[in-house]
Amino acid sequence: MAAKIKKGDKVVILAGRDRGANGEVIKVMPKDDRVIVRGVNLVKKHQRQTQTEQGGIISKEMPLHISNVALADPKTGKATRVGFKIENDKKVRFAKASGEVIDG
């Protein structure tokens, strides 16, 4: 099955403490059905100092379940579902709300 959400997509958070926030997908974990979104679901982590990294308290993004994010419509920026269609002998993703083709 083709992935509906890919790395680099602009998404809207649908549930959780960051509901309504927008962000870019950094990483997709299809086996776990999870995604990491830049600047969303941040947690503080106590980091021990190593030879390569500074110690202290750092913020890092944690994974969200893929059902809690939706693709942002390229026209309006609101959440939309994703569909697939064939254009010029190529399978492309499109936003169901506006019909706009999603590049990527």
Using the predicted structure, report yes or no on whether residue 1 has a pLDDT greater than 60: no
Split at pLDDT 50, 70, 90, the class of 3 is confident
Predicted confidence at residue 98, as pLDDT, reads 85
Task: Flag whether pLDDT at 36 surpasses 60.
Answer: yes
Model confidence band, residue 100 (pLDDT cutoffs 50, 70, 90): confident
Reduced 3-state DSSP string for the chain: CCCCCCCCCEEEECCCCCCCCEEEEEEEECCCCEEEECCCCEEEEEECCCCCCCCEEEEEECCEEHHHEEEECCCCCCEECEEEEEECCEEEEEECCCCCEECC
Domain 10-74 carries which CATH code? Answer: 2.30.30.30
pTM listed for this prediction: 0.83
